[in-house]
Amino acid sequence: MIIILKDDALPAQIDEIKSALTARGLQIKGIQGESKHILGLVGDTSGLSEDALARYDYIERVTRISDPYKLSGRHFHPQDSVVDMGLGAKIGGGNFAVMAGPCSIESEEQILSVAKDVKRSGATALRGGAFKPRSSPYSFQGLGLDGLELLKIAREKTGLPIVTEIMSEEYLSVFARDVDVIQIGARNMQNFALLRAVGELGKTVLLKRGLSNTIEELLQAADYLLAAGKSRVILCERGIRTFETATRNTLDISAVPVLKKKSHLPVVVDPSHGTGVWDLVYPMALASVAAGADGLIIEVHNQPECALCDGQQSITPALFDKLMRRIEKVREAVRE
Ligand code: PEP
Ligand code: MN
């Protein structure tokens, strides 16, 4: 952190701030320019607030140099993390993973049919919501614990690890026991109590970017999950809210290389929620792969026109199969 003092800062004021900072265990390297006095702070400044320092009327500006996310950042962990997704599946460090399945688990026939289809096409994991974050309280809310049981049957029959969203702390122990990858949805990305509690479980977590959150905020949320030193995190770009109305969200594909640069964690893209339009899923999935994503999460439904949730953005198993073959070609081209 660097503190630039105002030109008219008095020697007594400079001494005051210096002793306040050394009392916090920081070392200070001072630079006296022609008119400016600059203080360079060495040590752990994570507990220092820029805003609080800016209240001193003789401080002109405070600039933080290190990133405000230490655990998810690359600084202390330069190599890519390889994350275990359960049942032998891995993502990151060259392991590519595709999570596919319906938005919501609707019935045993539906989840088994989609699970078998996506498995045959080469999916790595099965997604399916049991607890759904719906904007309207009158919309289908998911089958809850019954849905989770159906998802477990589908795992049993296909050998695919399961990815599903947790909405409240009430079900922490059930998710810890039954779920391979716990999803934190966009709407809960900054539910800090939930993040801390899930972080204590020692599970793999798929953390989705919030609807209006910056990349920095996403990485700070990942640090909440990693704080207990027990859990593993996969980051997910799923589109952000902009003025554009042609798509449900604006898929920020540039977030992929930005996140890869800043963080060692695997990055996946959700082109289903990212666009909200089924025939945009295929091109945007390929674009995500070309941009360097470590994986994808895609909504697939055996009868999208009858889906209880997000049918407009769900692709059929046939299109998913075509996409999977195309993804392989794009990955080869990117590797060349
Ligand atoms: C989902 O994956 O079904 C979902 C609700 O996603 P998001 O949290 O990104 O909206
Ligand atoms: Mn959905």
- Can you give the CATH number for the domain in which 319 is found? 3.20.20.70
User: Which pLDDT score is estimated for 33?
Assistant: 83
CA distance 67 to 260: 14
Nearest 5°: the CA angle 252, 256, 261 is 135
Is residue 78 included in any domain, yes or no?
no
Lowest mean pLDDT among 51-55, 71-75, 264-268, 279-283: 51-55
Q: How many CB atoms lie within 10 A of CB 149?
A: 14
Tell me: do 22 and 52 sit in the same domain. yes
Mean pLDDT of the chain: 96
In a domain, 56, yes or no: yes
C-beta of 186 in contact with ligand 1 (< 6 A)? yes
The answer to whether residues 148 and 274 belong to one domain is yes
- 69 is a domain residue: no
Instruction: Give the number of the atom of ligand 1 that is nearest the alpha carbon of residue 129.
Output: 3
Same domain, 24 and 123: no
Residue 139 has pLDDT above 90, yes or no: yes
- Please compute the mean of the pLDDT values over residues 201-223 and round it to a whole number: 98
Among 157, 146, 263, 133, which Cα is nearest to 211's? Answer: 133
- Average pLDDT of span 11-25: 92
Mean pLDDT of 39-59: 88
Do 228 and 138 belong together in one domain?
yes
pLDDT score for 280 = 98
Ligand 1: which of 104, 163, 238, 297 to mutate, judged by most atoms within 8 Å of the beta carbon?
A: 238
Cα–ligand 1 centroid distance for 133 (angstroms)? 8
Taking the CA of 314 as reference, the closest ligand is: 2
- What is residue 161's DSSP assignment? -
Q: Quick one: 95 and 214 in the same domain? A: yes
Does residue 71 lie in a domain region? Answer: no
- Whether residues 27 and 107 share a domain: the answer is no
End position of a domain, from candidates 63, 95, 115 = 63
- Model confidence band, residue 55 (pLDDT cutoffs 50, 70, 90): confident
Question: How many domains, the chain?
Answer: 2
Q: Of 28-37, 173-182, 217-226, give the lowest mean pLDDT range.
A: 28-37
The answer to whether residue 35 scores a pLDDT higher than 90 is no
In a domain, 73, yes or no: no
320 — pLDDT class (breaks 50, 70, 90): very high
On whether both 42 and 95 belong to a single domain, the answer is: no
Instruction: Flag whether pLDDT at 121 surpasses 90.
Output: yes
Q: Is residue 40 part of a domain?
A: yes
Q: Is residue 6 part of a domain?
A: yes
Same domain, 188 and 240: yes
Query: Using only C-alpha atoms, what is the Rg of the chain?
Result: 23
CATH assignment of the domain containing 36: 3.30.70.1140
Judged against a pLDDT cut of 90, whether residue 201 lies above it is answered with yes
- Closest residue CA from atom 3 of ligand 1: 103
Decide whether any atom of ligand 1 lies within 6 Å of the 273 Cβ. yes
Same domain, 22 and 168: no
Residues 51 and 87 in one domain: no
Whether ligand 1 lies within 6 angstroms of the CB of 133 is answered as yes
Residues 34 and 168 in one domain: no
Structural domain of residue 15, as residue ranges? Answer: 2-63
Tell me what pLDDT residue 45 has: 86
Q: If we measure between CA atoms, which residue out of 284, 301, 291, 268 comes closest to residue 113? A: 301
Co-location of 17 and 132 in the same domain: no
Residue 72 resides in a domain = no
Nearest one of 300, 218, 220, 302 to 256, comparing CA atoms: 218
pLDDT at 156: 98
Q: Which residue has the higher pLDDT, 326 or 55?
A: 326
